[in-house]
Amino acid sequence: MARKPIIGVSGGIDIARTRGPLGDIKASVPQDYIHSIEKAGGIPVILPVTEDEEAAKALMGLADGLLLTGGHDVDPEIYGEEPVQMLQETLPARDRFEGQLIEEALRCGKPILGICRGAQILNVSLGGTLHQDLSHFNGSRLCHNQKTDGRYPFHSLLVNDNTILSEIMEREQRVNSFHHQAVKMTAPNVIVSAISKDGVIEGIELEYPNTIEMEGKPFVVGVQCHPEAMVDHERWALELFRRFVSEAGKVICDEI
């Protein structure tokens, strides 16, 4: 019997305002990501931010897929911009580490699912840029940072045909939303798979030449929403994780 796919879940760093008896800096991942991977049939393993350049290669050697989670703003230096006034806290060490994870996952043909910041760092690592704050995006008129409980949909997406997301979501799909940054220029070979009704890019996927057979195309998808908060309530959210974990399972079969 084949083992369950192991999913590497990129961690963040939390710094407490007051120091506790065991320190004030913690590696962490919201539990919703862990729950979503388990519910989809995978085994989650947290990948803590590390400065060791060899760590990413070793960690991705243990994992069958990579889940890039939400969190800090991406440092605009990576895509050649100076910081604007609305930029929030960045964590360059995390940017570097996740960039290494992405490079290694792609090199090994392992599936990647990027969520919120995860979609942004995926695009930037592949050569794209971001809106540092949506106030700098002409035309943005919707609220993209809901105050409503994350389990509930907030605004609509328009999903493009012939994409992975179109196999999972409705043509017009309501999702939750918690972000102030977004993809601006997509990286080479990255396509837009979903947008909000005010034109903000909400989904991206890595495109491959037509010469590559469908079975050989790795699953590389980024979404700006937070499906991990909705897997117990929205069919599409759980299906997205199931598809991701299923793709990771194919890596196991390839290695046998």
What is the set of active-site residues? 116, 226, 228
Are the CB atoms for 51 and 92 separated by under 8 Å?
Answer: no
188: Cα separation from own chain's centroid: 18
234: left (phi over 0), alpha (psi -120 to 50) or beta: beta
The CA distances from residue 223 to 9, 68, 85, 182, 255, in Å, are 15, 10, 25, 10, 28
Q: What is the DSSP-derived secondary structure letter of residue 181?
A: -
Determine the residue type at 99.
G
Of 223, 222, 212, nearest in space to 109 by CA: 212
Beta bridge partners of residue 28, listed in sequence order: 12
Q: How far apart are CA 2 and CA 64, in angstroms?
A: 13
The CA distances from residue 92 to 103, 106, 118, in Å, are 17, 21, 14
CA-based max dimension of the chain: 58
Of 34, 43, 39, 38, nearest in space to 2 by CA: 43
